[in-house]
């Protein structure tokens, strides 16, 4: 299985699970649910975040989600994460091991639960090996035309 490009993995506010970017459409972007495989149009009003753009608050600096997921995979040996429905104290204890200096005032249990859920989606429907930023720039074609130009 090839490495997961977190720039193409999307979290959509109000939607369960993760989505994979498919293409740019006229009214927004087309994304495929990693859980169901169904494609849908995400309009301009949809709150969409690429997992590559998400980072976790710590006492010193922000840590990219990619690094947190890697640390989780190392700790769990590619095995399953605890359930997001676990006791909040257990979830906090787990993240204290994975990211010991997380900012307790800004990194909430609700965020931790979301990351546990995302970890499981990636583990089951993609891979926990991620395309590094250097690889991303090497893999890109010269100049990609926008979808509207390609369709004509």
CATH number for 59? 1.10.10.1650
What pLDDT does 134 receive? 61
For residue 151, tell me if it sits in a domain: no
| Helix (H), strand (E) at residue 23 | strand 19-25
For residue 133, tell me if it sits in a domain: no
Please count the structural domains in the chain: 1
What pLDDT does 128 receive? 86
For residue 95, tell me if it sits in a domain: yes
Distance from C-alpha of 84 to C-alpha of 79, rounded to nearest angstrom: 15
What pLDDT does 149 receive? 40
Please report, in angstroms and rounded to a whole number, the separation of the first and last CA atoms in the chain.
33
Distance from C-alpha of 41 to C-alpha of 31, rounded to nearest angstrom: 7
Distance from C-alpha of 66 to C-alpha of 134, rounded to nearest angstrom: 14
What pLDDT does 144 receive? 42
Domain span at 92? 54-125
What pLDDT does 148 receive? 42
**Strand-strand pairing, 9-12 and 19-25:** antiparallel
For residue 61, tell me if it sits in a domain: yes
- Max intra-chain CA distance, the chain: 55
What pLDDT does 152 receive? 38
Local structure of residue 47 (DSSP, 8 states): -
For residue 20, tell me if it sits in a domain: no
Reading the chain (152 residues) residue by residue, the pLDDT tens digits are: 689 999 999 999 989 899 999 999 888 999 999 999 999 999 989 999 999 999 999 999 999 999 999 999 999 987 899 999 999 999 999 999 999 999 999 999 999 999 999 999 999 999 888 888 664 444 444 444 344 443 43
For residue 146, tell me if it sits in a domain: no
Distance from C-alpha of 44 to C-alpha of 27, rounded to nearest angstrom: 7
Distance from C-alpha of 104 to C-alpha of 41, rounded to nearest angstrom: 36
For residue 89, tell me if it sits in a domain: yes
């Amino acid at each position: 299985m090839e490495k997961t490009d977190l720039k193409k993995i999307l979290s959509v506010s109000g939607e369960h699970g993760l989505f994979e970017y498919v293409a740019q459409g006229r009214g927004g972007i087309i994304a495929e649910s990693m859980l169901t495989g169904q494609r849908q149009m995400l309009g301009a009003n949809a709150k969409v975040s690429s997992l590559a753009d998400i980072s976790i608050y710590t006492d010193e600096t922000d840590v990219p989600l990619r690094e947190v997921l890697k640390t989780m995979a190392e700790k769990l040996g590619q095995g399953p994460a605890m359930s997001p429905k676990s006791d909040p104290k257990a979830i906090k204890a787990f993240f204290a091991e994975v990211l010991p200096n997380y900012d307790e005032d800004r990194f909430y249990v609700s965020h931790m639960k979301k990351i546990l859920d995302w970890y499981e989606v990636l583990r089951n429907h993609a891979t926990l090996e991620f395309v590094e930023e250097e690889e991303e720039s090497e893999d890109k074609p010269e100049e990609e035309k926008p979808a509207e130009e390609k369709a004509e």
